[in-house]
Chain A
Amino acid sequence: MERRRSFPDVLAGGIFVLIGGAFVVGALGYELGTPTRMGPGAFPLLVGAAVVALGLAIAVKGLVAGEVISFGPIPWRAVAVIVLAVLFFGFTIRRLGFVPTTAVTAMLTTLASTRVRLLTAVAVAAGLTVASTLIFVVGLQLRIPLWGPWLGF
């Protein structure tokens, strides 16, 4: 195994320190209690501190003797489009209703691929909307209105 500075290791360590640290700070705001009756803050404080310690260890190890991993390309378009699609779905499902939300989400998601052609995207989105309406609303009787209040229903 080759040993050298590793950016992914340092990044991973940093993420652990950041999240662990945030939980530690948050946990200090809750009652810690005594060993006999641990308060709500005690356990997250312990585990958060462990995450920070492990994150620091990973980052330090990454600086002197990291794992050699190639980070590889990031499909920015896919990341952005998929996050947007999922957030859109969560935000509008109650407001627009099942059919329009599903159609837009499917359409957006299809665009995550760099190779997609518009016609294919429309066809896939339409097919998925029909399929999921049939499966989830007709077949499984999901209690989501097909058309939502934003459309005047």
Chain B
Amino acid sequence: MELLDNLALGFSTALLVQNVLYCFVGVLLGTAVGVLPGIGPTATVAMLLPITFSFEPVTALIMLAGIYYGAQYGGSTTAILINLPGESSAAVTALDGHEMARQGRAGPALAAAAIGSFVAGTVATVALAAAAPPLASVALKFGPADYFSLVLFGLIVSIALARGTALKALAMIALGVLLGTVGQDIYTGTPRFVFEQRELYGGIDFVSVAVGLFGVAEILRNLENEQTRTAIVSKVINLWPTREDRRRIVAPILRGTGLGAALGVLPGGGHVLASFTSYAVEKRISRRPQEFGRGAIEGVAGPESANNAAAQTSFIPLLTLGLPAHPVMALMIGAFIVHGITPGPNVINDEPALFWGLIASMWIGNVLLLLLNLPLIGLWVRMLRIPYQVLFPMIILFAAIGTYSLNSNAYDVYAIAFFGILGYILIKCGCEPAPLLLGFVLGPLLEENLRRALIISRGDPSVFLTRPISAALLALAVVALVVAVLPTIRRRRAVVFAEED
């Protein structure tokens, strides 16, 4: 019954007035950026991170987490109503959800998405609470060599799941790791690649990298083709699904939740993979596969449950290993560090109130999202009328102010422009920005553990192969790399992702 005690501690933390309040602010903002195309949770979390520095650590993390899973909810709203997924994982929801909306059944589609997300969020929160402690105790046995292999494994798996060619994703990771070496060396204090500029001694701030890659680059992409958005569906009536609908969504929700909870743990956009897999599964086992693509409610309920469950369980590697599964998680690592907490297996023992409070807040956040989304759907639709000409200057301005307020360092602001342009060019060349950010955040960890492991082994590199945990992780990394590069499997991946385009 330890789990119950822990959850009780969590809820007593999460139910404090200021925590509920900021949880609400987080999911509200998350829903808003999920609804608005052109700004995603990564850029939002990056912009708001500096603001949360004055908060209590647990409050800050609750709010940032709320933005992340709130965006998953919001993304499905626009996917259903105007066939414009605000978030990549909602792309598959648009297939049947928008079709339902065109048939005048937007209400049941939104309800199916919201109910599915809520059930998935609840189950996945319990899964997170149950799975995290044993994993964390395993992780405590990790030595530097094991950690090096773990980080390497995490980075490699993230390319196996990313879209685009494996070669480019690998290059983006390596480039991220390389840029992470700018600043003072941890062991000798030698300033590296700083061009004699004192402002660069602390390294490039990851907030600048994230805002540049996911904010500025995205804005430039959107300004390539300026067009006015039109909301086709303006009124949503009849929210409640019929008895037939309710019967049809039960099984897809449960299957989607299971799939999502399992796939969410994988690094590199597990939630996108989860929603696509769930859609494929539902279509295959349905007795009416011909309805898919023409407004099948199963095609909304399953994927929506899957991506929300995955959003929840992607906190597992973060909280137990200190390994981010998603760019937003990478930013959360930064949030932990700023508050003087090293993310990893020690968090659960050193900061139990924070750990369990964060988990409990996710369930509270899911309740708030259910309340926010169904009755207020009209408000979200109206938000789509905000013209992009107002939105993008706001993003740039808030990004600049937020980044500057981090350290009052002008170089952090210049870095936004640099990474915006670099990211824009690379994205245009078919490279995804997420691996670069993951590499950038994990690079210093990689270097530190590599050097520490070699000091302990007196320079003998075979330590990575003789320690069983490390050897197993490296073997898995090789398998993941082979899977990512092998053409036959790549083709199958292309099929999984083909429906997005």
Contact = CB atoms under 8 A, between A and B. Distances in A.
A44 B398 CA distance: 33
Interface string B417-451: 10011101110111100000000000100010011
B101 interface: no
B140 to A, nearest CB: 26
B389 A58 contact: no
Nearest to B461: A35
Interface of A: 8-9, 11-12, 15-16, 19-20, 23, 26-27, 30-31, 34-41, 43-44, 47-48, 50-51, 54-55, 57-58, 61, 67, 69, 71-75, 78-79, 82-83, 85-87, 89-91, 93-94, 102, 105-106, 109-110, 112-116, 120, 124-125, 127-128, 132, 136, 140-144
B285 interface: no
B288 interface: no
A25 B224 CA distance: 36
A26 B193 contact: yes
Interface in B171-193: 171, 174-175, 177-178, 181, 185, 187-188, 190, 192-193
A103 to B, nearest CB: 10
B426 to A, nearest CB: 6
Contacts of B417: 82-83, 86-87
B223 interface: yes
B410 to A, nearest CB: 4
9 nearest interchain CB pairs?
A90-B413, A36-B459, A12-B429, A35-B459, A40-B185, A54-B171, A8-B429, A109-B393, A90-B410
Given A40-B187, A94-B410, A23 B193 contact: yes
Contact of A43 (B170, B388, B424, B450): B450
Contacts of A39: 188
A115 B226 contact: yes
B397 interface: yes
Contacts of A79: 220, 421, 424
Nearest to A48: B178
Nearest to A62: B429
Nearest to A37: B455
Given A86-B417, A94-B410, A75 B193 contact: no
A87 B414 contact: yes
B96 to A, nearest CB: 28
5 contacts: A15-B422, A39-B188, A82-B417, A86-B413, A127-B390
Given A61-B167, A115-B226, A90 B459 contact: no
Given A40-B192, A69-B430, A79-B424, A86 B450 contact: no
B454 A44 contact: no
Interface string B209-231: 00000001001100111100000
Given A54-B167, A115-B226, A44 B394 contact: no
A20 B414 contact: no
* Size bin of chain B's contact surface: 35 or more
B318 interface: no
B224 A73 contact: yes
A82 B396 contact: yes
A102 B174 contact: no
Contacts of A31: 188, 190
Given A43-B451, A75-B224, A128 B397 contact: yes
A87 B421 CA distance: 13
B220 A72 contact: no
B430 A113 contact: no
Residue picked from A12, A23, A113, A141, most chain B C-beta under 10 Å: A12
A39 B189 CA distance: 10
A16 B175 contact: yes
Contacts of B390: 124, 127
Contacts of A41: 192
A23 B454 contact: no
B54 interface: yes
A106 B396 CA distance: 8
A86 to B, nearest CB: 4
B272 interface: no
Residue picked from B167, B397, B443, B455, most chain A C-beta under 10 Å: B397
Given A58-B171, A67-B165, A78-B223, 5 more contacts: A35-B460, A87-B413, A89-B413, A90-B400, A113-B389
B392 interface: yes
Contacts of B461: 35
Residue picked from B165, B168, B220, B394, most chain A C-beta under 10 Å: B168
Contacts of A110: 389, 393
Contact of A75 (B223, B414, B455): B223
B178 A83 contact: no
